[in-house]
Amino acid sequence: MTFGGRIHCMFCCNPMAAEIKQDRNGRPYVICHVCGLRAFLKTEMSLRGPTMIWGPLVRALQAGDVEAAKAMLAKEAAVAKENFDHELTRDAELVAK
């Protein structure tokens, strides 16, 4: 993570409008210079979506590449389903014990 770096705002969708900053305790937060969003993050993991998924998705949609956007969403949906199925299996195993 780069403090001072910019990402697409996940709320107003303005490209590179949100800045990754660091509070006085060293924790990351995001502020959007367009819509005013302020999101305080517990860990850097919270930036996974905005940087890995949201950014490329916004760029594909801005370029009018609907097929690329659909492919990205389908891939993320498959990962989400796999994680959900894994959690269900784990929860069922815990209940069985």
- What are the residues facing 19 on neighbouring strands? 6, 31
* Chain-centroid distance, C-alpha 18: 12
For Zn ion, the binding residue among 30, 32, 47, 72 (CB under 5 A) is 32
For Zn ion, the binding residue among 35, 52, 63, 66 (CB under 5 A) is 35
Least distance from C-beta 92 to Zn ion, angstroms?
40
61 SS3 class: helix
* Chain-centroid distance, C-alpha 82: 18
Q: Does 79 bind Zn ion (CB under 5 A)?
A: no
Residues found near Zn ion in the complex (CB under 5 A): 9, 11-12, 32, 34-35, 37
